[in-house]
């Protein structure tokens, strides 16, 4: 059996709450467990503010955990020495939504793609130059882009540069945080195809964060649905889209045009996610769920395995 590349084990991240919740802490990520295997794509969906990007930053070791553990190839990300941290940085990369702000506007494309190589032991200038050309070619950009600045490129071309930079050190995992949502629809498809191609060639695993469920369905092997810091449902992509079990997942899926247009909404999603000072007892979705009963209000439910590969946290689901 394959071993997971990345394993999140009851991972939590708290931030101090602001505004009227002052003095309280806010569980942006709460008891999240998730495995990602080599070469696979795990989609991560959920409404704005549910903790997707925070989870991505934890995976990249850019934030300290409040609780739990993250293992990469069996090794905990906590307590790495400097050399191990550097090695890890080359193994896990990120591509952000907005290449405009993630690329240094004062650097030429050649310098942008070269930088990680320079900082990671590629001392030979000629070899770096060759590698940069090869990387640009891999993402579909010719040599004529080497001397240009980011503002001299289109949005799609800039995202290609960000991807070239992300793959420069042969990573095993890339966190894709809304990688195409700032782009034109026609360009989105090209970038998604490029990512798929690179994944196949380089055996990359992706944690793919997106609001676009149709794209998530197209790209992912399995999908995790997040609500208020928790994963509330996790299943293989086909299973999740054909047989969603959590009321929140059902609402999310029904918001995709063309999926079950004839079926009325099963659940009306009203109001907003809970806030730190109104953090509910029991299931965090109960205040918005039309099926909620006393058990949901008082106890809620842990994520549990309902059938092979399908996990859900909902008191209505009996094992």
Ligand X SMILES: Nc1ncnc2c1ncn2[C@@H]1O[C@H](COP(=O)(O)OP(=O)(O)OP(=O)(O)O)[C@@H](O)[C@H]1O
Which among 47-55, 75-83, 84-92, 110-118 is the span making contact with Mg ion, rule CB under 5 A? 47-55
Task: Tell me which of Mg ion, ligand X, none is bound by residue 54, counting a contact when its beta carbon lies within the kind-specific cut-off of 5 to 8 angstroms.
Answer: ligand X
- Specify the residue, 214 or 305, whose C-beta has the smaller distance to ligand X: 214
Of 4-23, which residues contact ligand X (CB under 6 A)? Answer: 15
Does the protein bind Mg ion through residue 249 (CB under 5 A)?
no
Which residue has tokens 């495995």?
A: 35
What is the x/- site pattern for ligand X, positions 29-68, by CB under 6 A?
-------------------xxxxxxx--------------
- Specify the residue, 50 or 252, whose C-beta has the smaller distance to ligand X: 50
- Specify the residue, 47 or 236, whose C-beta has the smaller distance to Mg ion: 47
Distance CA 125, CA 114 (A): 10
* Distance (Å) of CA 310 to CA 65, 121, 241: 26, 43, 12
Does the protein bind Mg ion through residue 53 (CB under 5 A)?
yes
Provide the 10 A C-beta neighbour count for residue 124: 10
Query: Any alpha helices (H) in 64-182, and if so which ranges?
Result: 82-91, 99-102, 109-119, 125-138, 155-167
Task: Tell me which of ligand X, Mg ion, none is bound by residue 171, counting a contact when its beta carbon lies within the kind-specific cut-off of 5 to 8 angstroms.
Answer: none
Strands (E), the chain: 6-16, 25-36, 41-45, 67-72, 75-76, 92-95, 173-177, 205-209, 222-227, 230-236, 304-307, 310-312
Of 178-237, which residues contact Mg ion (CB under 5 A)? Answer: none
Q: How far is the CB of 68 from Mg ion (least distance, A)?
A: 20
Nearest-CB residue for Mg ion: 53
- Specify the residue, 15 or 122, whose C-beta has the smaller distance to ligand X: 15
**Total residues interacting with Mg ion, rule: CB under 5 A:** 1
250: Cβ–Cβ under 8 A, 6 or more apart, which residues? 244, 266, 267
- Specify the residue, 66 or 111, whose C-beta has the smaller distance to ligand X: 66
Q: What are phi and psi of 53, to 5 degrees?
A: -65, -40
252: Cβ–Cβ under 8 A, 6 or more apart, which residues? 45, 46, 47, 213, 225, 244
Binding site for ligand X (CB under 6 A): 15, 28, 48-54
Binding site for Mg ion (CB under 5 A): 53
């Amino acid at each position: 059996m394959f071993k997971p590349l990345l394993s999140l084990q009851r991972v939590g991240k708290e931030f101090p709450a602001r505004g009227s919740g002052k003095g309280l802490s806010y569980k942006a990520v709460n008891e999240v467990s998730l495995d990602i295997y080599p070469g696979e794509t795990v989609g991560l969906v959920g409404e704005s503010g549910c903790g997707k990007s925070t989870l991505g930053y934890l995976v990249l070791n850019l934030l300290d955990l409040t609780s739990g553990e993250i293992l990469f190839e069996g090794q905990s990300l906590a307590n790495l020495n400097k050399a191990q941290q550097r090695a890890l940085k080359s193994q896990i990369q990120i591509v952000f939504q907005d290449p405009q702000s993630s690329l240094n506007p004062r650097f030429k494309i050649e310098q942008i793609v070269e930088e990680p190589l320079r900082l990671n032991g590629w001392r030979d200038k000629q070899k770096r130059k060759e590698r940069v050309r090869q990387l640009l070619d891999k993402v579909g950009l010719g040599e004529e882009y080497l001397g240009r600045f980011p503002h001299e490129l289109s949005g799609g071309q800039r995202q290609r540069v960000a991807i070239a930079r992300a793959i420069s050190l042969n990573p095993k995992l890339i966190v894709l945080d809304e990688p195409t949502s700032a782009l034109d629809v026609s360009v989105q498809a090209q970038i998604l195809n490029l990512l798929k191609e690179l994944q196949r060639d380089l055996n990359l695993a992706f944690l793919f964060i997106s609001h676009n469920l149709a794209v998530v369905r197209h790209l992912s092997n399995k999908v995790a649905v997040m609500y208020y810091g928790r994963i509330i449902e996790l299943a293989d992509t086909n299973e999740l889209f054909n047989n969603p079990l959590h009321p929140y997942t059902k609402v999310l899926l029904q918001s995709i045009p063309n999926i079950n247009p004839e079926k009325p909404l099963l659940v009306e999603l009203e109001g907003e996610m809970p806030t730190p000072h109104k953090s509910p007892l029991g299931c965090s979705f109960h205040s918005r769920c039309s099926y909620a009963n006393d058990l949901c209000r008082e106890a809620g439910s842990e994520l549990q395995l309902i059938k092979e590969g399908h996990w859900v946290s909902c008191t209505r689901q009996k094992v």
